[in-house]
Amino acid sequence: MIERAVGWLSQEKHSTYGLAVTRMILGLVVASQLVVNWDDRHYTWGDGAEWTAPVRDATSWPSFLGLFGRLDGRAFDALYLLTIVFGVLLMVGYRTRATAIVTLFLWMSLYVANPFVGSGGDAVLRMVLLYLCFTDAGLRWSVDARQRAERGEIRPYVPTWASATLHNLATILIIHQVVMVYVGSAFWKLQSERWMDGTAVYYPLQTDAYSPWHDWLQPLYANGLVIGGATYLAIVVQLFFPVLLIHRPTRLIALVLITGMHLGIGLFMGILYFSLVMIAVDMILVSDSSWLRIAAAVRARGRRPVPQPPSRV
């Protein structure tokens, strides 16, 4: 059995298409987040964030991540733009591994400059991005892959068995991370009265912070059936997520439900960024053969071959 496991880990890189999709979405998330916050960049992470120093300094991040905190004015803007560029490079998969490492460094430097405006999405993103550096996320649907197809393979620095092992272990850790968040959160919910009586989803949908559409959708939020259904469905999907993954048909159901749940909370609770990060990770769970079928279907529908499948979900 150990022999089989070692073989599975070290002979072949798994989930390569799913990781490509994860890579694209994460790159998009990094770039688009910075674009969205462009007008407020100095206030959020630059000089204007000076007031958060007492809280920032209470957490012990290594000092090499303090780059954004040390720069101001044009230098800050240049680094900010550079981070956007690297987000895009990650999305298209150019020199993917080096790009992933630099993107991680820049993104973390930005995060550390003001953790006070961070969110749950940042926590997942920084962990997944770290694991992604160990994977071969540029193997498919990337600029790297095109160049390899044209120029041929360059002799790798790291032997294939070691590279495959790191790739597969990192992939497992990413999947573990997301499954653990689901199951852990379901365990917590089961201990909460509000979740057990089917009203939990109602509360955030009443608040200013997590209900941007409150004024339009209040009739929906006041409906007990809608609230109860959403509450119980969230628990059931999260709790049984790993079990549903085992068989192909139930895996499809699990992915459709969980993606729907993320889109739901992302749009209705105004935390789309967090939802996109979670959806990006879930995409690894779609098998390579399914991705190829999807790609073939997209290609058949298109008038002419497109260089890359759309990176949106």
Partner 1 sequence: MTSAAGDPLQGTGSGASGRTDRRGQDELEMQTTGAASSGHRPWQRALVVVLALVAVVHAAVLALWVSPSGPVRDAVGDRALAAWVNPYFAQQWSALVPNAQFADESFMVRAQVRDGAGGAITMSDWMDVTAVETDALRHDIDPARVHVAARRIATNLNGAMFGLNPRQRELVAASYTKEPIERLGDRLYSAGTDRQAAVRSYVTYDTMATRFASMYARARLDGTILKVQYRVGRRTVPAGADRPADALHDRDFRWFAFGFRRGFTASYEAQTAFERHAGA
Cβ-based nearer residue to partner 1, 65 or 85: 65
Query: Which residues within the stretch 165-224 sit at the binding site for partner 1 (CB under 8 A)?
Result: 165-166, 169, 172-173, 176-177, 180-182, 184-185, 187-189, 191-192, 194-195, 197, 199-204, 206-210, 212-213, 215, 218, 221-222, 224
Distance (Å, rounded) from C-alpha 176 to C-alpha 169? 10
Query: Which residues within the stretch 48-77 sit at the binding site for partner 1 (CB under 8 A)?
Result: 48, 50-55, 58-61, 72-73
- Span of 5-13, 84-92, 94-102, 239-247 interacting with partner 1 by CB under 8 A: 5-13
CB within 8 A of 208, min separation 6: which ones?
A: 214
Told to check if 116 binds partner 1 by CB under 8 A, we report: yes
Cβ-based nearer residue to partner 1, 88 or 189: 189
Q: Which of 243, 256, 296, 297 binds partner 1 (CB under 8 A)?
A: 296
Closest approach, Cβ 5 to partner 1, in A, equals 7
Told to check if 251 binds partner 1 by CB under 8 A, we report: no
Cβ-based nearer residue to partner 1, 256 or 296: 296
Pair of tokens at residue 82: 């550079």
Q: Which of 84, 85, 101, 127 binds partner 1 (CB under 8 A)?
A: 127
Are 276 and 266 in contact by the 8 Å Cβ rule? The answer is yes
Are 65 and 112 in contact by the 8 Å Cβ rule? The answer is yes
Cβ-based nearer residue to partner 1, 86 or 121: 121
Q: Which of 1, 74, 151, 152 binds partner 1 (CB under 8 A)?
A: 152
Distance (Å, rounded) from C-alpha 10 to C-alpha 270? 42
Query: Which residues within the stretch 7-36 sit at the binding site for partner 1 (CB under 8 A)?
Result: 7-12, 14, 32, 36
Cβ-based nearer residue to partner 1, 53 or 256: 53
Name the H helices within the chain: 2-11, 16-36, 41-44, 53-56, 67-70, 73-92, 96-113, 120-132, 143-151, 160-190, 193-196, 214-221, 224-245, 248-268, 272-282, 288-301
Neighbours of 20 (CB within 10 A): 27
Torsion of CA 215, 216, 221, 222, to 10 degrees: 80
